[in-house]
Amino acid sequence: MYIRRAADRGDASFGWLKSKHTFSFGHYFDPAHMGFGPLRVINEDRVTPGAGFDTHGHRDMEIISYVIDGALEHKDSLGTGSIIVPGEVQRMTAGTGIRHSEYNHSEEEPVHFLQIWIMPAEQGLTPSYEQKAFAPEELDGRLRLVGSADGRDGSVLIHQDVNLYAAKLDGSEPLELPIAAGRIAWVQVVRGGLSLNGEKLATGDGAALKDVDSLRFTDGDRAEILVFDMVA
């Protein structure tokens, strides 16, 4: 296990935006942290009221937005217009090319969210968009599949061999996820704290794991996590 501590992440601040970069992104370049398997970007973004990312383009990337607090407004060149709030997962396939904007939907409160990029299994896909909501009780004390390569169990479809889980853990009751031989895993702590295979993790920490047969989560302290079970 390699732990990427929250305080060691890259930092970007533009007044309206404060961002922490788990991996190299934009003006932050760190050759030791270019991604993990197909996982390329985890940015923790805070956007001030009414501000946001103007229309810009992407290609050949699976982009996932996970709102922690507030509301994120999305518009794209497919004609999609939506508001993303906590409990929802948005997946956008950039494919052959897509343009979109992301704004804080509120004029009064900041929005706090994770933007995640996953490299697709193949390039040149048809651009598409998907957004699904998951009730709080679906995450409480269990690992809820929220993204997968086949869209099973009501998860969003990710065009890569990735199983993405979300969970909330508070208390001593353990959670365990088997990891098949040859696969790797990344755990991102959205908030709170817990132990992963005996190692303490806190808000903003990430952990890369390979050559393990399971992930065991214990000692949850108002913890919310995302877990990526991925092809190596």
State pLDDT tens for residues 161-172.
Answer: 999 999 999 998
10-133 shares its CATH topology with 136-231: yes
Cα separation of 199 and 217, whole Å? 9
Residue 7 DSSP code: G
Q: 136-231: which CATH number, 2.60.40.790, 2.60.120.10, 1.10.10.60, 3.20.80.10?
A: 2.60.120.10
Q: Where are the alpha helices (DSSP H) in 168-208?
A: none
**pLDDT for residue 40 is more than 90:** yes
Residues 6+ apart with CB under 8 A from 150: 157
pLDDT value of position 172: 84
**Which residues on neighbouring strands pair with residue 130, listed in sequence order?**
91
Give the model's confidence band at 128: pLDDT under 50 very low, under 70 low, under 90 confident, else very high. very high
**pLDDT for residue 173 is more than 90:** no
Q: What is the mean pLDDT of residues 137-142?
A: 96
Cα separation of 109 and 173, whole Å? 34
Pairing mode, strands 156-157 and 144-148? parallel
CATH class of 10-133: mainly beta
CB 42 within 8 A of CB 165: no
Domain segments of the chain as ranges: 10-133, 136-231
State pLDDT tens for residues 71-113.
Answer: 999 999 999 999 999 999 999 999 999 999 999 999 999 999 9
Dihedral sign for Cα atoms in the order 6, 129, 140, 166 = negative
